[in-house]
Chains A and B, each alone.
Chain A
């Protein structure tokens, strides 16, 4: 992923702003915008405030690979990564365009509504692609269903069973999930 070459072209700048708007709408953090567009930090902050109504969150980006390996995040990361790979391989798109398209498809795939946070954020999706490119994480085939899932590249993954074929006993039984089923039941009743 390279920065677009900085030329004083109005059209190029407009394109960069469009790209930034698209990413902000999908929930990208400032660091991601800085890395993927040629706009200055000041302009990006201004743009962010205008679109979101608040200042961009400060602090470092999440940098641990472990998050992608826990149960629910792993499923969501795997969905995103499979979509991304498919697009790169078959649809002739790459870099940030592929990430944006794959992320939009991911949101539609999980039936996301705009009220709550999706499990995998745009920033995490971007980080995931970078982790895979730097070979810290990789996709591995499940020996049961044959689907490809995100795993740690340095783990021993012979006879790997994915999180969906082999659901850990306490998986998904969070407070939030309980509330959700409660809501579903009351709606259905």
Chain B
């Protein structure tokens, strides 16, 4: 994958993310706020974006969505569950939903 392809993939990911987020918010706002881990203000804003606005916002060579784990130690702990995948999922769920929006 060369650099140009990579940047176009990023733009694709941005567009996908924004469209998915908007769909989720329109279907069930409270659930979407939880799943996306965003605040209500941002959810309201995303909900009202027009297609043109979404396109403009997505056509950037930088990722719009941020990785939700910032603590390396915790991330490595979660990825190092060897025995039970269900436990790793539970732990991830607790840690993610305990974070601030």
Residues of A within 8 A of B (CB): 75-76, 78-79, 82-83, 85-87, 89-93, 97-98, 101, 104-105, 109-111, 145-149, 164-165, 167, 172
Q: Name the CB-closest residue of B to A149.
A: B94
Q: Does chain A have a CB within 8 A of B71?
A: yes
Contacting residue for A146 out of B33, B34, B98, CB 8 A: B98
Contacting residue for A148 out of B35, B77, B90, B94, CB 8 A: B94
Q: Does chain A have a CB within 8 A of B20?
A: no
The answer for the CA separation of A172 and B34 in the assembled complex, in Å, is 28
B74 with A82: CB separation less than 8 A: no
Q: Does chain A have a CB within 8 A of B49?
A: no
Contacting residue for B33 out of A82, A87, A147, CB 8 A: A87
Residues of B within 8 A of A (CB): 28-31, 33-35, 39-40, 71, 74, 77, 84, 86-87, 89-91, 93-95, 97-98, 101
Query: When A and B form their complex, what is the total count of cross-chain residue pairs whose Cβ atoms lie within 8 Å?
Result: 77
B71 with A90: CB separation less than 8 A: no
- State the Cβ distance, A103 to closest chain B Cβ, in Å: 12
A93 with B91: CB separation less than 8 A: no
- State the Cβ distance, B71 to closest chain A Cβ, in Å: 7
The answer for the CA separation of A145 and B74 in the assembled complex, in Å, is 6
Contacting residue for B31 out of A78, A82, A101, A172, CB 8 A: A101
- Find chain A residues with CB under 8 A from B89 CB: 109-111
A83 with B77: CB separation less than 8 A: no
- Find chain A residues with CB under 8 A from B77 CB: 145, 165
A109 with B93: CB separation less than 8 A: yes
- State the Cβ distance, B99 to closest chain A Cβ, in Å: 9
- Find chain A residues with CB under 8 A from B71 CB: 146
